[in-house]
Chain A
Amino acid sequence: MTDSPAGVIHDIGYRKYDGPRLGRGRVTRALYAHSLRGAYGLGRSARAKVLPMLLLGVMCIPAFVIAVIANVASGVTTELVLPYSRYVVVTQGILTIFVAAQAPASLSRDLRFKTVPLYFSRPLERSDYVLAKFGALTTALFLLIAAPLLIMYIGALLAELPAGRETGDLLLALLGAVIFSAVFAGVGLVIASLTARRGFGVAAIITVFALSFAAVSALQGIIRYEVDDPTLAGWLGLLSPITLADGFQTWVLDASSSAVAPPPGATGGVVFVLVTFAVIGACWALLNLRYRKVAVS
């Protein structure tokens, strides 16, 4: 005490905290923001930023090209070479990689490092955790889709295409993007929540998305053109998350379909809508079920 050397930082003792304590809602929002930033590697290591930023770049390049074409060829054509609503399906490979990388980064990481009990020993409820993670990945995907669509929209306006029509198409496509994002995020998170091993999660998600899309598209092609049964081909679209969400926006938002076969007729359209919402709801229920059991060990 008497001869403490200069420059020593003195322990000022323990200070009580009597500031505000935020409730569940605000905590959920903080976890949502944290997870959303995390999906783009913000607040994480430099290495974690590489992939999401690269994918965002790759996602925007075709949109930029389309915007340039619209301006260069504005005398020749009066519309964009690719409608907004088809952009998602054309770039679905990139979206699949994004979900495959970020869903496990979001959930498997907490499982692997056993951080989950630390969340659940705090005011947060388990459903709040699921809500924050689901919402964050859906938003991250939505931003990934919305960014290139906005580039195309700006390109279209610069090319002096009819502004009213372009705005309407863009808004419908953005609505479709919400559905795509929710379906992708839900399926991806359910798979990721089942494994603590990130590698397994990545592989499983890519397999489910890519394989189901390839298989469904191939089968649809064979049945529609070889067997000549477009109705059955349309129904097959229910079996892959990508064609399912595409069918949803084709029917509800009157978008142009990118699938080999669109949903068959009005009944088909209604079924596609119901199944889409059922899939999102089922993912929500499965995640909640999973986290009710997890991490008591």
Chain B
Amino acid sequence: MPVIQTEELTKRFPSTTALDQLTIEVEPGVVGLVGANGAGKSTLIKILLGLSSATSGRASVFGLDVTAEGPRIRERVGYMPEHDCLPADVSATEFVVHMARMSGLPADAARERTADTLRHVGLYEERYRPIGGYSTGMKQRVKLAQALVHDPEIVMLDEPTNGLDPVGRDEMLALIRRIWSEFGITVLVTSHLLGELERISDHVVVIDGGRLLRSSSTSEFTRTSQTLAVEVSAEADAVGEALAAAGLTVKREGRLLVLPLDDDEVYDLVRDAVAAQGVGLIRLEQGRHHISEIFGEDQGGAAR
């Protein structure tokens, strides 16, 4: 049974349409919600939580309608907002205990669960110090902890990797993966980077301008979104032409030739083309489409 279901969900603000007849289904697991800034990701989460109401259409969580049974949904959901939401003058422990109590946990259970949860997100000695002095990475962990402390059935994480350095990003992604694989809690996680979400998600939903662009399992997605960057020592144009003649869409990015990596045969084609021109192969690198590239191609195509 799907955990989250929306049907023709539409949200209009006076100046823009944030969600435009969005119909999606989310199964248990890690679900990535990808879209450029302003694509409607946060709006969708707020509607699911009952923080904001839809203009038209229907949405349900655990089969409960979001407008009619908001309180019952919110008992079983954890929410990590995109923006800062932590008071600077209390410690992580005090704050998370308070938030656990606000989720309905009795005082003793709140303290016990707080200690457990902070340990799981990787906050140790520093949890007794005021949050104001924390790094961005530590603050993100506290935000995650308050979403998990009451042991929800699903957590909605809005841009959890925002503002993190590459190492912090990797740690946060690994942690999110564990929320499903070890804790058994379904995760709805948003990002504007497709690359990082396809690493941890079982299913990826891409929205743009409030509309569903595609919704598919990650394995399907990765195959079509992988690219191969090729750098040769000379005659890049000739190599590019040879590859195009072999039926590949070649994109020139400075000294690089970027090819869609549909299957392993592409490597053979590159090898043959380079050998035929008699030039050196300097670099052969797997890459992934940044989500904005997908949109860029679509919109660019439409504009031309």
Contact = CB atoms under 8 A, between A and B. Distances in A.
B291 interface: no
Nearest 8 A/B pairs, CB to CB: A17-B151, A121-B79, A22-B104, A21-B104, A14-B183, A113-B87, A30-B101, A114-B85
B94 A117 contact: no
Nearest to B90: A44
Nearest to B130: A45
Chain A contact residues, majority secondary structure: loop
B116 interface: yes
Interface string B94-107: 10001101111111
B217 interface: no
A113 B113 CA distance: 24
A119 B102 contact: yes
B102 A31 contact: yes
B87 A122 contact: no
Nearest to A112: B87
Given A17-B109, A121-B51, A296-B46, A114 B83 contact: yes
Contacts of B85: 113-115, 117-118
B242 to A, nearest CB: 52
Contacts of A124: 102
Contacts of A13: 182
Interface in A122-139: 122-125
B99 A17 contact: no
Contacts of B77: 121
A23 B104 CA distance: 6
A10 to B, nearest CB: 11
B74 interface: yes
B146 A118 contact: yes
B253 interface: no
A197 interface: no
B286 interface: no
A123 B105 contact: no
Given A117-B81, A118-B146, A14 B120 contact: yes
B71 A120 contact: no
Contacts of A296: 46, 51-52
Interface string B127-167: 00010000000000000001000110000000000000000
A115 B86 contact: yes
A12 to B, nearest CB: 9
B96 to A, nearest CB: 11
Nearest to A113: B87
B46 A27 contact: no
Q: Identify the interface centre among B79, B85, B146: most chain A CB within 10 Å of its CB.
A: B85
A22 B71 contact: no
Contacts of B120: 14
Interface of A: 11, 13-17, 19-24, 26-27, 30-31, 34, 43-45, 48, 109-110, 113-115, 117-125, 295-297
Chain B contact residues (Cβ within 8 angstroms of A): what range?
Answer: 35 or more
A23 B151 CA distance: 16
A50 B182 CA distance: 46
B71 to A, nearest CB: 5
B241 interface: no
Q: Identify the interface centre among A30, A121, A296: most chain B CB within 10 Å of its CB.
A: A121
Contact of B99 (A114, A118, A120): A118
A297 B184 CA distance: 30
B89 interface: yes
Nearest to A14: B183
Contacts of A43: 94
B75 interface: yes
A14 B99 CA distance: 19
B84 interface: yes
B226 to A, nearest CB: 33
A123 B75 contact: yes
B102 A122 contact: yes
B103 A44 contact: no
A121 B74 CA distance: 6
Contacts of B174: none
A120 B77 CA distance: 12
A13 B146 CA distance: 18
A17 B113 contact: yes
Contact of A22 (B98, B106, B146, B184): B106
A114 B81 contact: yes
Interface in B109-126: 109, 113, 116, 119-120
A125 B71 CA distance: 8
Contact of B87 (A26, A109, A119): A109
Q: Identify the interface centre among B88, B102, B146: most chain A CB within 10 Å of its CB.
A: B102
Given A14-B183, A123-B104, A296-B46, A19 B84 contact: no
A113 B130 CA distance: 14
A121 B79 CA distance: 7
B207 interface: no
A45 B89 CA distance: 8
Contact of A114 (B84, B104, B116): B84
Given A109-B87, A118-B85, 9 more contacts: A14-B183, A17-B109, A17-B113, A48-B89, A117-B79, A118-B99, A121-B77, A123-B74, A296-B51
